Amino acid sequence: MDPVTGGASAGKTPQHYEAIIIGAGQAGPALAGRLSDAGMRVALVERKHFGGTCVNTGCMPTKTLVASAYAAHLARRAADYGVALQGPVRVDIARVKARADTVALNARHGVESWLRGMANCTVYQGHARFTGPHDIMVDGQALSADRIFINSGGRAVIPDLPGIAGVPVLTNVGMRDLDVLPRHLVIIGGSYIGLEFAQMYRRFGSEVTLVEKGPRLIAREDEDISDAIRGILEAEGVQLRLNADDIRFAPGDAGQIDVRTHAGQAAVQASHVLVATGRRPNTDDLGLDAAGVAIDARGYIVVDDGLATNVPGIWALGDCNGRGAFTHTAYNDFEIVAANLIDGGARRVSDRIPVYALYIDPPLGRVGLTEAAVRRSGKPALVGTRPMTRVGRAVEKGETQGFMKVLVDAQTRQLLGAAILGTGGDEAVHGLIDTMSAGAPYTTLRDTVHIHPTVSELIPTVLGDLKPLV
Protein backbone atom coordinates (compact mmCIF):
# COMPACT_ATOMS: atom_id res chain seq x y z
CA MET A 1 0.00 0.00 0.00
CA ASP A 2 1.24 3.48 -0.86
CA PRO A 3 1.41 5.50 2.40
CA VAL A 4 1.20 8.73 0.43
CA THR A 5 -2.42 8.15 -0.50
CA GLY A 6 -3.47 5.39 1.88
CA GLY A 7 -6.06 2.83 0.89
CA ALA A 8 -9.21 1.08 1.97
CA SER A 9 -8.37 -0.86 5.09
CA ALA A 10 -11.32 -0.21 7.40
CA GLY A 11 -11.87 -3.23 9.61
CA LYS A 12 -8.32 -4.51 9.14
CA THR A 13 -5.62 -4.58 11.78
CA PRO A 14 -4.20 -1.05 12.12
CA GLN A 15 -0.65 -0.38 11.08
CA HIS A 16 1.09 0.16 14.42
CA TYR A 17 3.77 2.75 15.15
CA GLU A 18 5.47 3.86 18.32
CA ALA A 19 4.50 7.46 17.55
CA ILE A 20 2.08 9.23 15.22
CA ILE A 21 2.42 12.94 14.50
CA ILE A 22 -0.56 14.75 13.00
CA GLY A 23 0.59 17.81 11.08
CA ALA A 24 3.85 18.90 9.43
CA GLY A 25 4.00 22.45 10.78
CA GLN A 26 6.86 23.82 12.84
CA ALA A 27 6.77 21.26 15.64
CA GLY A 28 5.87 18.08 13.74
CA PRO A 29 8.84 17.49 11.42
CA ALA A 30 11.44 18.36 14.07
CA LEU A 31 9.75 16.00 16.52
CA ALA A 32 9.67 13.27 13.89
CA GLY A 33 13.42 13.72 13.47
CA ARG A 34 14.15 13.42 17.19
CA LEU A 35 11.86 10.42 17.69
CA SER A 36 13.18 8.57 14.65
CA ASP A 37 16.77 9.30 15.70
CA ALA A 38 15.88 7.73 19.05
CA GLY A 39 14.94 4.55 17.19
CA MET A 40 11.16 4.88 17.25
CA ARG A 41 8.98 3.93 14.29
CA VAL A 42 7.14 7.13 13.44
CA ALA A 43 4.20 7.97 11.19
CA LEU A 44 3.70 11.59 10.19
CA VAL A 45 0.38 12.64 8.66
CA GLU A 46 -0.08 15.85 6.66
CA ARG A 47 -3.36 16.67 4.97
CA LYS A 48 -2.11 19.40 2.61
CA HIS A 49 1.09 21.48 2.54
CA PHE A 50 4.24 20.46 4.40
CA GLY A 51 5.68 23.19 6.59
CA GLY A 52 2.43 24.53 8.01
CA THR A 53 1.34 28.16 8.19
CA CYS A 54 4.81 29.69 8.57
CA VAL A 55 6.26 28.14 5.44
CA ASN A 56 3.20 28.37 3.19
CA THR A 57 1.05 31.37 4.08
CA GLY A 58 2.67 33.03 7.09
CA CYS A 59 6.17 34.07 8.05
CA MET A 60 8.27 33.08 5.06
CA PRO A 61 6.16 34.35 2.14
CA THR A 62 4.85 37.34 4.08
CA LYS A 63 8.28 38.52 5.19
CA THR A 64 9.49 38.01 1.64
CA LEU A 65 6.74 40.41 0.54
CA VAL A 66 7.77 42.80 3.34
CA ALA A 67 11.33 42.73 1.97
CA SER A 68 10.10 43.63 -1.52
CA ALA A 69 8.01 46.46 -0.08
CA TYR A 70 11.05 47.73 1.83
CA ALA A 71 13.11 47.71 -1.36
CA ALA A 72 10.45 49.80 -3.12
CA HIS A 73 10.29 52.22 -0.18
CA LEU A 74 14.07 52.57 -0.06
CA ALA A 75 14.22 53.14 -3.81
CA ARG A 76 11.73 56.00 -3.49
CA ARG A 77 14.04 57.51 -0.84
CA ALA A 78 17.14 57.07 -2.99
CA ALA A 79 17.71 60.83 -3.24
CA ASP A 80 17.98 61.01 0.56
CA TYR A 81 21.15 58.91 0.25
CA GLY A 82 22.57 60.81 -2.70
CA VAL A 83 21.51 58.16 -5.20
CA ALA A 84 19.87 59.27 -8.46
CA LEU A 85 17.29 57.06 -10.16
CA GLN A 86 15.82 57.72 -13.58
CA GLY A 87 12.03 57.73 -13.62
CA PRO A 88 9.53 56.75 -10.94
CA VAL A 89 9.84 53.54 -8.97
CA ARG A 90 7.52 50.86 -10.34
CA VAL A 91 6.51 47.63 -8.61
CA ASP A 92 5.92 44.51 -10.70
CA ILE A 93 3.51 42.76 -8.35
CA ALA A 94 3.52 39.54 -10.40
CA ARG A 95 7.29 39.24 -9.94
CA VAL A 96 6.95 40.16 -6.27
CA LYS A 97 4.46 37.31 -5.87
CA ALA A 98 6.65 34.92 -7.85
CA ARG A 99 9.57 35.63 -5.55
CA ALA A 100 7.46 34.94 -2.45
CA ASP A 101 6.10 31.77 -4.08
CA THR A 102 9.63 30.54 -4.76
CA VAL A 103 10.75 31.11 -1.18
CA ALA A 104 7.69 29.29 0.20
CA LEU A 105 7.85 26.40 -2.27
CA ASN A 106 11.55 25.82 -1.70
CA ALA A 107 10.97 25.68 2.03
CA ARG A 108 7.93 23.40 1.64
CA HIS A 109 9.79 21.01 -0.61
CA GLY A 110 12.74 21.02 1.77
CA VAL A 111 10.53 19.96 4.69
CA GLU A 112 8.80 17.26 2.64
CA SER A 113 12.06 15.86 1.27
CA TRP A 114 13.54 15.75 4.75
CA LEU A 115 10.56 13.82 6.11
CA ARG A 116 10.32 11.39 3.22
CA GLY A 117 14.02 10.63 3.49
CA MET A 118 13.96 10.25 7.27
CA ALA A 119 14.88 6.84 8.65
CA ASN A 120 12.12 5.12 10.66
CA CYS A 121 9.52 7.67 9.46
CA THR A 122 6.58 6.89 7.17
CA VAL A 123 4.74 9.83 5.64
CA TYR A 124 0.98 9.66 5.05
CA GLN A 125 -0.69 12.43 3.08
CA GLY A 126 -4.37 12.74 3.96
CA HIS A 127 -6.87 13.76 6.60
CA ALA A 128 -6.25 12.21 10.04
CA ARG A 129 -9.19 11.53 12.33
CA PHE A 130 -9.21 9.85 15.75
CA THR A 131 -11.21 6.66 16.16
CA GLY A 132 -9.97 6.01 19.70
CA PRO A 133 -7.30 7.18 22.18
CA HIS A 134 -4.55 5.38 20.28
CA ASP A 135 -6.08 5.00 16.83
CA ILE A 136 -6.59 7.22 13.82
CA MET A 137 -7.85 6.85 10.27
CA VAL A 138 -6.13 8.52 7.34
CA ASP A 139 -8.43 8.39 4.33
CA GLY A 140 -9.37 4.78 5.07
CA GLN A 141 -5.98 3.65 6.36
CA ALA A 142 -6.08 2.59 10.03
CA LEU A 143 -3.07 3.54 12.15
CA SER A 144 -2.34 3.11 15.84
CA ALA A 145 0.39 4.25 18.19
CA ASP A 146 1.38 4.34 21.84
CA ARG A 147 1.98 8.08 21.55
CA ILE A 148 0.15 10.59 19.36
CA PHE A 149 1.22 14.19 18.88
CA ILE A 150 -1.25 16.72 17.44
CA ASN A 151 0.30 19.60 15.48
CA SER A 152 -2.71 20.56 13.39
CA GLY A 153 -2.21 24.34 13.38
CA GLY A 154 -4.84 27.05 12.92
CA ARG A 155 -6.58 29.16 10.32
CA ALA A 156 -7.95 32.65 9.84
CA VAL A 157 -11.46 33.46 11.02
CA ILE A 158 -13.92 35.55 9.02
CA PRO A 159 -16.29 37.24 11.48
CA ASP A 160 -20.04 37.36 10.95
CA LEU A 161 -20.32 41.03 10.05
CA PRO A 162 -23.36 42.51 8.27
CA GLY A 163 -23.18 41.90 4.53
CA ILE A 164 -19.85 40.10 4.58
CA ALA A 165 -21.32 36.90 3.15
CA GLY A 166 -22.44 38.77 0.04
CA VAL A 167 -19.06 40.14 -1.01
CA PRO A 168 -15.66 38.60 -1.78
CA VAL A 169 -13.19 38.99 1.07
CA LEU A 170 -9.68 37.69 1.57
CA THR A 171 -7.69 36.34 4.49
CA ASN A 172 -3.90 36.26 4.62
CA VAL A 173 -4.11 33.02 2.60
CA GLY A 174 -6.08 34.66 -0.21
CA MET A 175 -3.71 37.63 -0.25
CA ARG A 176 -0.92 35.20 -1.14
CA ASP A 177 -2.70 34.37 -4.39
CA LEU A 178 -3.00 37.97 -5.59
CA ASP A 179 -0.90 38.74 -8.65
CA VAL A 180 -2.50 42.13 -9.27
CA LEU A 181 -2.11 45.30 -7.27
CA PRO A 182 -5.32 46.28 -5.47
CA ARG A 183 -6.52 49.76 -6.37
CA HIS A 184 -7.84 50.26 -2.84
CA LEU A 185 -7.23 47.63 -0.19
CA VAL A 186 -9.43 47.84 2.90
CA ILE A 187 -8.12 45.87 5.88
CA ILE A 188 -10.40 44.91 8.76
CA GLY A 189 -8.33 44.52 11.92
CA GLY A 190 -5.63 46.74 13.38
CA SER A 191 -3.33 44.12 14.85
CA TYR A 192 -0.14 42.42 13.67
CA ILE A 193 -1.23 40.82 10.38
CA GLY A 194 -3.35 43.82 9.38
CA LEU A 195 -0.55 46.31 10.06
CA GLU A 196 2.04 44.36 8.10
CA PHE A 197 -0.20 44.08 5.03
CA ALA A 198 -1.28 47.72 5.33
CA GLN A 199 2.25 49.09 5.12
CA MET A 200 3.34 46.47 2.59
CA TYR A 201 0.60 47.21 0.06
CA ARG A 202 0.83 50.94 0.56
CA ARG A 203 4.50 50.67 -0.40
CA PHE A 204 3.57 48.56 -3.41
CA GLY A 205 1.35 51.44 -4.53
CA SER A 206 -2.18 50.57 -3.38
CA GLU A 207 -4.44 52.99 -1.60
CA VAL A 208 -4.95 51.42 1.84
CA THR A 209 -7.56 51.97 4.52
CA LEU A 210 -7.22 50.11 7.81
CA VAL A 211 -10.35 49.66 9.95
CA GLU A 212 -10.21 48.90 13.68
CA LYS A 213 -13.12 48.60 16.12
CA GLY A 214 -10.99 49.72 19.05
CA PRO A 215 -9.72 53.21 19.84
CA ARG A 216 -6.13 52.41 18.86
CA LEU A 217 -3.95 49.97 16.97
CA ILE A 218 -2.55 46.78 18.56
CA ALA A 219 -4.33 47.24 21.86
CA ARG A 220 -2.12 44.71 23.68
CA GLU A 221 0.86 47.08 23.33
CA ASP A 222 1.52 50.19 25.40
CA GLU A 223 -0.10 53.38 24.16
CA ASP A 224 3.23 54.99 23.28
CA ILE A 225 4.07 52.04 21.02
CA SER A 226 0.60 52.13 19.48
CA ASP A 227 0.79 55.88 18.88
CA ALA A 228 4.25 55.64 17.32
CA ILE A 229 3.13 52.90 14.93
CA ARG A 230 0.07 54.93 14.00
CA GLY A 231 2.33 57.85 13.13
CA ILE A 232 4.59 55.65 11.01
CA LEU A 233 1.69 54.28 8.98
CA GLU A 234 -0.10 57.59 8.55
CA ALA A 235 3.13 59.25 7.39
CA GLU A 236 3.24 56.72 4.55
CA GLY A 237 -0.35 57.42 3.54
CA VAL A 238 -2.22 54.57 5.21
CA GLN A 239 -5.71 55.83 6.09
CA LEU A 240 -6.98 54.75 9.51
CA ARG A 241 -10.56 54.41 10.67
CA LEU A 242 -10.49 53.71 14.40
CA ASN A 243 -13.44 53.30 16.79
CA ALA A 244 -15.32 51.69 13.91
CA ASP A 245 -18.80 51.20 15.37
CA ASP A 246 -20.75 49.99 12.34
CA ILE A 247 -18.66 47.76 10.06
CA ARG A 248 -20.79 46.42 7.21
CA PHE A 249 -20.38 45.46 3.57
CA ALA A 250 -22.37 45.73 0.35
CA PRO A 251 -21.66 45.19 -3.36
CA GLY A 252 -20.68 48.48 -4.99
CA ASP A 253 -20.55 49.82 -8.51
CA ALA A 254 -18.23 48.36 -11.15
CA GLY A 255 -17.31 45.35 -9.00
CA GLN A 256 -16.23 47.44 -6.03
CA ILE A 257 -17.07 46.64 -2.40
CA ASP A 258 -18.70 49.30 -0.24
CA VAL A 259 -17.27 49.10 3.27
CA ARG A 260 -19.02 51.19 5.90
CA THR A 261 -17.16 51.70 9.13
CA HIS A 262 -19.08 54.32 11.14
CA ALA A 263 -22.76 55.13 11.41
CA GLY A 264 -23.51 58.21 9.32
CA GLN A 265 -20.11 58.19 7.58
CA ALA A 266 -19.61 57.56 3.86
CA ALA A 267 -18.57 54.06 2.87
CA VAL A 268 -15.11 53.29 1.53
CA GLN A 269 -15.09 51.88 -1.98
CA ALA A 270 -12.67 48.97 -1.94
CA SER A 271 -11.35 46.91 -4.79
CA HIS A 272 -10.22 44.24 -2.30
CA VAL A 273 -10.96 43.52 1.36
CA LEU A 274 -8.58 41.71 3.72
CA VAL A 275 -10.05 40.38 6.96
CA ALA A 276 -7.40 40.07 9.68
CA THR A 277 -9.40 39.78 12.88
CA GLY A 278 -8.13 36.57 14.43
CA ARG A 279 -7.49 32.85 14.05
CA ARG A 280 -8.95 29.59 15.28
CA PRO A 281 -7.39 26.15 15.85
CA ASN A 282 -7.77 23.31 13.37
CA THR A 283 -9.38 20.95 15.85
CA ASP A 284 -13.01 20.71 14.75
CA ASP A 285 -12.55 17.83 12.30
CA LEU A 286 -10.01 15.62 14.09
CA GLY A 287 -12.52 13.43 15.89
CA LEU A 288 -11.13 14.47 19.26
CA ASP A 289 -14.32 13.36 20.98
CA ALA A 290 -13.60 9.77 19.91
CA ALA A 291 -10.30 9.95 21.76
CA GLY A 292 -11.75 11.82 24.73
CA VAL A 293 -9.41 14.78 24.25
CA ALA A 294 -10.65 17.91 26.03
CA ILE A 295 -10.90 21.26 24.27
CA ASP A 296 -11.77 24.67 25.67
CA ALA A 297 -14.60 27.02 24.66
CA ARG A 298 -12.58 28.38 21.73
CA GLY A 299 -11.65 24.96 20.37
CA TYR A 300 -8.07 24.85 21.65
CA ILE A 301 -6.82 21.53 22.97
CA VAL A 302 -6.29 21.73 26.72
CA VAL A 303 -2.72 20.83 27.71
CA ASP A 304 -0.68 20.85 30.90
CA ASP A 305 2.70 22.48 31.45
CA GLY A 306 4.40 19.68 29.53
CA LEU A 307 1.90 19.90 26.63
CA ALA A 308 0.16 16.63 27.51
CA THR A 309 -3.60 16.45 27.03
CA ASN A 310 -6.02 14.91 29.50
CA VAL A 311 -5.66 11.57 27.65
CA PRO A 312 -2.47 9.65 28.52
CA GLY A 313 -0.23 9.29 25.49
CA ILE A 314 -1.61 12.28 23.56
CA TRP A 315 0.12 15.66 23.33
CA ALA A 316 -0.78 18.86 21.46
CA LEU A 317 1.82 21.24 20.04
CA GLY A 318 1.71 24.57 18.22
CA ASP A 319 -1.25 26.78 17.35
CA CYS A 320 -3.85 24.12 18.21
CA ASN A 321 -3.11 24.25 21.96
CA GLY A 322 -3.66 27.95 22.63
CA ARG A 323 -0.36 28.27 24.49
CA GLY A 324 1.33 30.37 21.82
CA ALA A 325 0.50 31.79 18.41
CA PHE A 326 3.95 32.01 16.87
CA THR A 327 6.33 29.85 14.90
CA HIS A 328 8.90 30.15 17.66
CA THR A 329 6.47 28.99 20.36
CA ALA A 330 5.44 26.01 18.22
CA TYR A 331 9.08 25.03 17.76
CA ASN A 332 9.66 25.48 21.48
CA ASP A 333 6.73 23.12 22.09
CA PHE A 334 8.69 20.50 20.13
CA GLU A 335 11.78 21.20 22.21
CA ILE A 336 9.85 20.81 25.47
CA VAL A 337 8.23 17.52 24.45
CA ALA A 338 11.43 16.05 23.00
CA ALA A 339 13.50 17.04 26.03
CA ASN A 340 11.00 15.54 28.45
CA LEU A 341 10.37 12.30 26.54
CA ILE A 342 13.80 11.53 25.16
CA ASP A 343 16.30 13.38 27.34
CA GLY A 344 14.67 12.88 30.73
CA GLY A 345 14.10 16.61 31.10
CA ALA A 346 11.48 18.53 33.01
CA ARG A 347 10.92 21.53 30.76
CA ARG A 348 7.69 23.51 31.08
CA VAL A 349 5.70 25.91 28.93
CA SER A 350 5.40 28.29 31.89
CA ASP A 351 9.19 28.72 31.95
CA ARG A 352 9.34 30.51 28.62
CA ILE A 353 9.39 34.29 28.43
CA PRO A 354 6.87 35.93 26.08
CA VAL A 355 8.75 37.16 23.00
CA TYR A 356 7.55 38.26 19.58
CA ALA A 357 7.99 40.84 16.84
CA LEU A 358 5.82 42.99 14.59
CA TYR A 359 7.28 43.20 11.10
CA ILE A 360 6.29 46.60 9.93
CA ASP A 361 9.22 48.85 9.05
CA PRO A 362 10.77 49.64 11.42
CA PRO A 363 10.07 46.40 13.27
CA LEU A 364 8.98 46.05 16.87
CA GLY A 365 10.87 43.56 19.04
CA ARG A 366 9.11 42.67 22.31
CA VAL A 367 10.02 40.66 25.39
CA GLY A 368 8.32 40.18 28.74
CA LEU A 369 5.86 42.59 30.31
CA THR A 370 4.52 45.81 28.84
CA GLU A 371 4.68 48.99 30.89
CA ALA A 372 0.93 48.74 31.47
CA ALA A 373 1.33 45.20 32.83
CA VAL A 374 4.15 46.30 35.14
CA ARG A 375 1.96 49.10 36.49
CA ARG A 376 -0.88 46.65 37.09
CA SER A 377 1.48 44.33 38.96
CA GLY A 378 2.29 47.01 41.51
CA LYS A 379 6.00 46.18 41.36
CA PRO A 380 8.37 49.04 42.14
CA ALA A 381 9.99 49.50 38.77
CA LEU A 382 12.55 51.48 36.84
CA VAL A 383 12.22 52.51 33.21
CA GLY A 384 14.68 53.65 30.59
CA THR A 385 13.91 55.04 27.15
CA ARG A 386 15.81 56.35 24.17
CA PRO A 387 14.54 57.68 20.83
CA MET A 388 16.05 56.13 17.73
CA THR A 389 17.10 59.64 16.70
CA ARG A 390 19.81 59.21 19.37
CA VAL A 391 21.01 55.84 18.09
CA GLY A 392 24.00 56.35 15.82
CA ARG A 393 23.35 53.27 13.70
CA ALA A 394 19.81 54.46 12.98
CA VAL A 395 21.03 57.95 12.07
CA GLU A 396 23.67 56.52 9.70
CA LYS A 397 21.02 54.42 7.97
CA GLY A 398 18.59 57.32 7.78
CA GLU A 399 16.00 55.26 9.67
CA THR A 400 15.32 57.07 12.93
CA GLN A 401 11.66 56.31 13.61
CA GLY A 402 10.73 54.68 16.90
CA PHE A 403 12.32 54.29 20.32
CA MET A 404 13.62 51.83 22.93
CA LYS A 405 12.03 51.16 26.29
CA VAL A 406 13.27 48.83 29.04
CA LEU A 407 11.59 48.04 32.39
CA VAL A 408 13.43 46.73 35.45
CA ASP A 409 12.33 45.49 38.88
CA ALA A 410 13.70 48.12 41.27
CA GLN A 411 14.17 45.60 44.10
CA THR A 412 15.46 42.45 42.40
CA ARG A 413 17.25 44.24 39.52
CA GLN A 414 15.71 41.71 37.12
CA LEU A 415 14.60 42.79 33.67
CA LEU A 416 10.80 42.81 33.44
CA GLY A 417 10.24 43.65 29.80
CA ALA A 418 11.34 45.69 26.84
CA ALA A 419 10.19 47.06 23.50
CA ILE A 420 12.48 48.13 20.68
CA LEU A 421 10.56 49.85 17.90
CA GLY A 422 13.22 50.79 15.42
CA THR A 423 15.61 49.61 12.75
CA GLY A 424 17.03 46.25 13.83
CA GLY A 425 14.71 46.09 16.81
CA ASP A 426 13.72 42.50 16.08
CA GLU A 427 17.39 41.48 16.37
CA ALA A 428 18.63 43.85 19.07
CA VAL A 429 15.98 42.68 21.53
CA HIS A 430 17.64 39.27 21.79
CA GLY A 431 20.31 40.56 24.16
CA LEU A 432 17.52 41.41 26.57
CA ILE A 433 15.82 38.07 25.95
CA ASP A 434 19.01 36.17 26.72
CA THR A 435 19.70 38.14 29.88
CA MET A 436 16.18 37.51 31.14
CA SER A 437 16.40 33.82 30.27
CA ALA A 438 19.66 33.51 32.19
CA GLY A 439 18.06 35.16 35.21
CA ALA A 440 20.91 37.65 35.35
CA PRO A 441 20.42 41.16 36.80
CA TYR A 442 20.12 44.02 34.36
CA THR A 443 23.58 45.21 35.42
CA THR A 444 25.10 42.23 33.59
CA LEU A 445 23.86 43.62 30.28
CA ARG A 446 24.48 47.22 31.33
CA ASP A 447 28.16 46.47 31.97
CA THR A 448 28.74 44.42 28.80
CA VAL A 449 30.75 45.89 25.94
CA HIS A 450 28.85 45.87 22.65
CA ILE A 451 30.08 46.38 19.11
CA HIS A 452 29.96 49.86 17.59
CA PRO A 453 28.12 50.94 15.51
CA THR A 454 25.04 48.83 16.26
CA VAL A 455 21.57 49.31 17.64
CA SER A 456 22.33 46.87 20.45
CA GLU A 457 25.16 49.00 21.83
CA LEU A 458 22.66 51.59 23.07
CA ILE A 459 20.81 49.11 25.30
CA PRO A 460 23.49 49.33 28.04
CA THR A 461 23.21 53.10 27.73
CA VAL A 462 19.46 52.91 28.32
CA LEU A 463 20.07 50.63 31.33
CA GLY A 464 22.57 53.13 32.71
CA ASP A 465 19.95 55.87 32.75
CA LEU A 466 16.97 54.26 34.48
CA LYS A 467 14.37 56.36 36.26
CA PRO A 468 11.58 55.36 38.67
CA LEU A 469 8.37 54.39 36.92
CA VAL A 470 5.81 56.86 38.25
Active site amino acids: 452
Spatial separation of the C-alpha atoms in residues 240 and 234, rounded to whole Å: 8
Spatial separation of the C-alpha atoms in residues 325 and 298, rounded to whole Å: 14
Whether 383 and 405 have beta carbons less than 8 Å apart is answered as yes
Nearest to 123 by CA among 137, 133, 131, 113: 113
What is the total residue count of the chain? Answer: 470
SS (H, E, C) the chain: CCCCCCCCCCCCCCEEEEEEEECCCCHHHHHHHHHHHCCCCEEEEECCCCCHHHHHCCHHHHHHHHHHHHHHHHHHCHHHHCCCCCCCCCCCHHHHHHHHHHHHHHHHHHHHHHHHCCCCEEEEECCEEEEECCEEEECCEEEEEEEEEECCCEEECCCCCCCHHHCCCECHHHHHCCCCCCCEEEEECCCHHHHHHHHHHHHHCCEEEEECCCCCCCCCCCHHHHHHHHHHHHHCCCEEECCCCCCEEEECHHHCEEEECCCCCCCEEECEEEECCCEEECCCCCCHHHHCCCECCCCCECCCCCCECCCCCEEECHHHHCCCCCHHHHHHHHHHHHHHHHCCCCCCHHHCCCEEEECCCCCEEEEECCHHHHHHHCCCEEEEEEEHHHCHHHHHHCCCCCEEEEEEECCCCEEEEEEEECCCHHHHCHHHHHHHHHCCEHHHHHCCCCCCCCCCCHHHHHHCCCEECC
